[in-house]
Amino acid sequence: MSRPAEAGARRRIERFTRAERYVHRTTAALMLILIATGAVLYLPSLSVRIGHRQTVALIHLYCGFALPIPMAAGLFSRAYRADVRRLSRHTDTDREWLRNRAWRPGRAHQLGLAVGKFNAGQKLNASFQCGAILVMVGTGTLMWFPHLVGVSSRTGATFVHDWLALAIGFVVVGHVWFALNDRQARIGMRTGWVTRGWVEREHQGWAAELTAAEAEVGEGDGANAGADADTYAVSEAPDRAARGEAGTRDRGEDRAVH
């Protein structure tokens, strides 16, 4: 590979804005606290060892109610809203990605799948987590305020809350495992930037979108430059004519004096 090509592959592209990274970090921190405190509340051995059950329960409650807030606050960011729209759209490429187990590194590139900014696994994870958060907040509310519903409803809410918490734990472990196996994805979430080579290898559809956007911007800049040049030429022509007339008049006056 030539050096210009290598430089192009190493060129950085912004994947996540600061607002998106803060939403992810805050949500992840709250989720980990909820998993830890939930384990203490659910497992008697941990509950006895840790103690302070009421304090742990209050931390779990407040973090649970706070969990949807970062995602709601992220909606004030235009980039965050654009990524939410991307995550909510499932395409034929996503189905091919799942069918061919393209979560393995380099598999999507080998198959020539035009994966967008997010692959099918990331979209499924986002959909599951968003729905699970809403269900957990709802069932947790019924568990904490038992007077709101009857005994049977509270029992059902507890059943759903406990088993869904277990499912969330498995999904979080899988999410972390995939992140640990993709260094560029981790860098992108930590710093917001990834290399062009990684985008072209793992997200060919997004790379094509970026290339088209760059070409459109380039054409727009060229058109603006041409318009500016035409405007400059038009505005300069009268100035040059005026300067020529003034110079002729000055020379004529000089000759008259002499």
51 pLDDT tier (thresholds 50, 70, 90): confident
Kind plus residue range of the DSSP H or E element containing 70? helix 68-74
* Rounded Cα–Cα distance for residues 129 and 148 (Å): 26
Q: Are 87 and 127 in contact (CB under 8 A)?
A: yes
CA distances from 253 to 240, 243, 245 (A): 20, 15, 12
Q: What pLDDT score was predicted for residue 106?
A: 79
* Rounded Cα–Cα distance for residues 129 and 137 (Å): 12
Nearest one of 29, 10, 15 to 79, comparing CA atoms? 15
| pLDDT tens readout for residues 22-31 | 999 999 999 9
pTM: 0.76
Q: Are 67 and 137 in contact (CB under 8 A)?
A: yes
| pLDDT tens readout for residues 76-113 | 999 999 999 999 999 999 999 999 988 887 788 888 89
Q: Which domains does the chain have, with CATH numbers?
A: 10-202 (1.20.950.20)
Q: What pLDDT score was predicted for residue 94?
A: 93
| pLDDT tens readout for residues 180-238 | 989 999 999 999 999 999 999 999 999 999 999 888 877 666 555 444 434 333 333 33
Q: What pLDDT score was predicted for residue 36?
A: 93
